[in-house]
A and B are shown apart, each in its own frame.
Chain A
Amino acid sequence: MLIGAGLILFLMAGLVIAAFRVRRPAVDDARSEKVWILGLGLGFSMAVLAALLAYGLVAGERLMPRAAADLVRVEAEARQWAWRFAYDDRPGYFTENLLHIPAGRPVDVAITSTDVVHSFWVPRLAGKLDAIPGHVNVLRIEADAPGTYRGVTAEYNGEGYSRHVFTVEAHDAAGWAAFVAEETP
């Protein structure tokens, strides 16, 4: 995408500069309109945009949550300025600002808020999704490898915004089993 954008930018810049530099014979309006407006304006823009849109839709489709046998479900509840996480696999247990997930398995995060609008974002795991009072949004994330991942709130939510961060801890299979079995805090 970046390379394409760069190419288009150079094309445009080149055309503008050439307008000042190149000596050229007079062309009648009708022909210029055909080249500039029908050809470049409509034809070129539409071709590039159609390709990009198709790419975006296909990529978006691949990110869609699908039914999976080993799916894990957790709940994320935001407030000013903390996150509280709950686990379907370990009922009644909560963590603050630290989310445990298994690595290598799809995880659905059910996101909501108790006060203002927040947004759940773990840049290395997925895009962001808003936490809106009265609504539950479900985000599919998946960590390829065990480890810790930084998460932040990504919608301005008042004075504590810049410090409103959390951590995601992705466990290997054994670690997750231990977590679910209520062996680790």
Chain B
Amino acid sequence: MNALRRHRKLEAIWSSEPGWKGWTSSVNHSDLGRMFLFTAFFFFFVGGVLAMLIRAQLATPDSAFVDAGAFSQFFTMHGTIMMFLFAIPAFEGLAIYLLPKMLGTRDLAFPRLTAYGYWCYAFGGSMLLVAMLFGIAPDGGWFMYPPLTGPLHSPGINTDFWLIGITFVEISAICAAVEFTVSILKYRAPGMSLDKMPIFAWYALVTSLMILTGFPPLILGSVLLEVERAFGLPFFQADLGGDSLLWQHLFWLFGHPEVYIIFLPAAGIISTVIPVMARTTLLGYGWIVASAVALAFLSFGLWVHHMFTTGIPHMGLAFFSAASTLVAVPTGVQVFAWIGTLWKGRPELHMPMLHILGFFVTFVIGGLTGVMVAVVPFDWQAHDTAFITAHLHYVLFGGFVFPMLAGIYYWLPLLSGRKRLFRLGELAFALIFVGFHGTFMAMHWVGLMGQRRRIETYDADTGWGVINFISSVSSFVMAIGLAMVLVDIIIHAFVAMRGRRNPWQAGTLEWASMSPPPSYNFASLPEIRNRDPFAGDPDLPNRLAKGEGYLGEPKAGRRETLMVDIATGRPEAVVVYPGNTRLPILMAAVTGAFFLSILLKLFWITPLALAGVAALALVWVWQLGSRTDQGAQDAGRGVTLPLASETDRSPGWWGSTFLLVANATFFGSLLFGYAFLWTVAPGWPPAEWLDPSWAELGLGIGAALVGSIALRVGTRRNRNGTSPQLALVPALLATVVTVIVFALLLFRLPPPDGHAYAATLFILGAYGLAHALLVGLMQGFLILQVRRGFTSARRQSGFSVVGLWSDYLCAITVLSLLAAHLPGMAL
């Protein structure tokens, strides 16, 4: 079979449906990565227009351009869109597009999940756009502090759009993070050990793990605030035992890691582009990986520095001030490693390099003002002034937008297979750079003069008029520059000439295929021996196209790739992916119906939507099943491997593991909230406790343990070839008992709208009940699969997945019941 025939065969297997219909059914990472990027930059445009409106209003004193109500929607939506609908999805889009190509594989771990994540993002983002079109957009500031956003002070639907829309969008971030983690750890080219991984993959891995542990506190906060707004459970109301500070803690527990979640992928771009532009290799690869990991850990110890003015005790302030300064060290290491890389090589000033230089200047200034506000006495003055707004734009624009623009210009030839035609990009860069610094230098200045952030107007006698005018004019210069980038890209995509392969002479694998890459990425998978596999081996693409790598023989209708050992990259199993399907978009639509039913208070739809999601999830999993053992597979190059679905560590097991990491963080945040309210909130102890019951406690813990153990026995019996049903049915019965115990807890609680104590226990009980029902559903599904012959001693992957969830249910049941019953017994 020659290269062209192989290409046609693979295209037939991998390509999406033609035309616009293909968008709705595609599960291919290249398609979805582009859709993500396109949508993210559309939101960047919307957020940018809002920024222009803000600057137009502030350009002159006593401006009557818009009123305070519209202005508050502008700044709230500007921040919300840029953070949640642009920055995070833009990273997701880039990583979805690039990661499999860089890692030398054919797709991400869970193609349908990629699509589901995209549609959740698109639908959730649209909800916020609709709110804006009708003039009922959120207006409490992008960090949504209650009680201002609570039911008493914001009775309108505006806040609900934020809480529900953003939670919907965060589903896509969690999906992407699970997917990246599993893909980077398990889906690489054979021989690509961890230390040979492209540096971008390391950054994406760290970022993903941070999303898994950083987003759940905000999701919890949003759930609590929405429950307070919709059903009156008082989590943030001081007179009923709640505390608005709980929101601030949950929000910044997310919000500070968020800054690094945005910066780290950008640092990944920089670490990839700089060595190529300097014609050398990256200086201090190990040090950079170590500092990215260090940043991830430190960033979770900093959230309180957003709350220096809330009356935190002095010792606490000193600790968090020290941590906030310490976090600058790993950042410093990375910046100097990049400069060292430039010194090591012979840097050339191509288009991407311009934006990298823009990054250096801007980000270093942002970092320096960041260290200033880490000094508590300075922060007490600068907090909530335009100085902070300017600082955060230096960090985010410098640390994300400039690198992202560098990345776009760097990878554009890969996406399009063309070369740039006009020199429009250079002029655009100059305008953006000058405009940006004009805008935000002025804002530092006026902030130090005392202008607060978020005021819609100011008096002429403050003397701020001229500075604000400079800032506004500069911001329009920047906007013109960004519009020119857009024009440049459109010209490039449609008009420019075909370019040659690998125009930058890069050494990473994404360039070792056609440009633009085919739907299957690589006709056969390379064997990796060093960190820049394409650098000393210009013939690599031809050999891969000729099928000389792994999996070079297309098999009818099967999308195949390899799973490898985490550390060494030794091939472990052959993965068969699902093909094009509209299941993800349907599932996202039903998920959207669930969120809409809460938003519009149509609560009769809510259970229907949940049942719909559950039913679709069962179809989702059912489609992967097989009734016969497939046995060993030929992976090419004389290697035979089992199918991934016939191992006990299937892709589903890996996905579940990392999903549970996020889930456990959510549960941990809930316990934190319970303890926080108990110890800090005013209005405790409550008037009425839950009447504790040894019987319920004992029964619940017993059932949880039985369920978990019975499932292990069932797994072992299945592996030994005996019928597992004898153990699975008791496991299911134990789960039913767990359901009953949680239902009793909810039933016997004091009224949850009376005090934050009962409200928190209500959420804890509802969380337990939901998980018990979920695990019951999974166990019932497994029994059904066993009865219909979808399992065997080889086809055992379902057991390990359900076992994992059963163990998790056991752990949260024990912890929840102890947290609910023990305090009552001790008192």
* A interface, CB within 8 angstroms of B: 1, 5, 8-9, 12-13, 15-16, 18-20, 24, 27, 29, 32-33, 35-37, 40-42, 44-46, 49, 52-53, 55-57, 59-60, 63-64, 80, 115-117, 119, 121, 123, 126-130, 132-135, 137-138, 152, 154-162
Within 8 A of A (CB), among B127-155: 140-141, 145-148, 152-153
How far apart are the CA atoms of A26 and B147 in the complex, in Å?
Answer: 61
Which residues of chain A have C-beta atoms less than 8 A from B278's C-beta?
Answer: 19
**Which of B322, B336, B369, B371 is packed against the most chain A CB atoms within 10 Å?**
B336
A48 → chain B, closest Cβ, in Å?
Answer: 8
Number of chain B residues whose Cβ lies closer than 8 Å to a Cβ of chain A: 77
Proximity string of chain B (437-458) to chain A, C-beta cutoff 8 Å, 1 when within and 0 when not: 0000000000000101111111
How far apart are the CA atoms of A55 and B72 in the complex, in Å?
Answer: 38
A25 → chain B, closest Cβ, in Å?
Answer: 11
Other-chain residue from A18, A44, A57, A129 in contact with B311 (beta carbon distance below 8 A): A129
With A56-B375, A64-B314 already in contact, the answer to whether A116 and B342 are too (CB < 8 A) is: no
A166 → chain B, closest Cβ, in Å?
Answer: 14
How far apart are the CA atoms of A130 and B248 in the complex, in Å?
Answer: 12
Q: Is B332 an interface residue (CB 8 A)?
A: yes
A96 → chain B, closest Cβ, in Å?
Answer: 21
Contact A116 B361 (CB under 8 A): no
How far apart are the CA atoms of A162 and B311 in the complex, in Å?
Answer: 23
Which residues of chain B have C-beta atoms less than 8 A from A116's C-beta?
Answer: 145-148, 153, 244
Which residues of chain B have C-beta atoms less than 8 A from A49's C-beta?
Answer: 325-326, 328-329, 371
With A56-B375, A119-B384 already in contact, the answer to whether A132 and B284 are too (CB < 8 A) is: no
Which residues of chain A have C-beta atoms less than 8 A from B384's C-beta?
Answer: 119, 121, 128, 154-156
With A8-B368, A137-B311, A155-B384 already in contact, the answer to whether A115 and B153 are too (CB < 8 A) is: yes
Other-chain residue from A40, A115, A137 in contact with B336 (beta carbon distance below 8 A): A40
Contact A159 B322 (CB under 8 A): no
Q: Is B378 an interface residue (CB 8 A)?
A: yes
Contact B365 A9 (CB under 8 A): yes
**Which of A27, A36, A64 is packed against the most chain B CB atoms within 10 Å?**
A36
Within 8 A of A (CB), among B145-192: 145-148, 152-153
How far apart are the CA atoms of A80 and B310 in the complex, in Å?
Answer: 18
A-B contacts, 26 of them at CB < 8 A, read: A1-B375, A12-B339, A19-B347, A35-B340, A36-B336, A36-B343, A42-B333, A45-B333, A46-B329, A53-B325, A57-B321, A63-B380, A80-B153, A115-B147, A116-B153, A127-B309, A127-B379, A127-B383, A129-B380, A130-B310, A134-B238, A154-B452, A156-B148, A158-B153, A161-B68, A162-B456
Contact B68 A162 (CB under 8 A): yes
How far apart are the CA atoms of A53 and B322 in the complex, in Å?
Answer: 7
Other-chain residue from A60, A126, A129 in contact with B318 (beta carbon distance below 8 A): A60
Q: Is B196 an interface residue (CB 8 A)?
A: no
Within 8 A of A (CB), among B364-400: 364-365, 368-369, 371-372, 374-381, 383-385
B331 → chain A, closest Cβ, in Å?
Answer: 8
Contact A162 B333 (CB under 8 A): no
Contact B310 A33 (CB under 8 A): no
Q: Is B357 an interface residue (CB 8 A)?
A: yes
Q: Is B349 an interface residue (CB 8 A)?
A: yes
- Contacts A49-B328, A156-B141 known; list 16 others, CB within 8 Å: A13-B361, A18-B343, A20-B349, A36-B284, A37-B283, A41-B335, A41-B337, A44-B332, A52-B371, A56-B325, A56-B374, A117-B147, A126-B380, A132-B244, A155-B384, A162-B456
Q: Is B551 an interface residue (CB 8 A)?
A: no
Q: Is B682 an interface residue (CB 8 A)?
A: yes
With A41-B332, A53-B322, A156-B148 already in contact, the answer to whether A33 and B452 are too (CB < 8 A) is: no
Contact B376 A60 (CB under 8 A): yes
Which residues of chain B have C-beta atoms less than 8 A from A157's C-beta?
Answer: 148
Contact B283 A32 (CB under 8 A): yes
Which residues of chain A have C-beta atoms less than 8 A from B145's C-beta?
Answer: 116-117, 155-156
Contact B339 A36 (CB under 8 A): yes
How far apart are the CA atoms of A161 and B384 in the complex, in Å?
Answer: 12
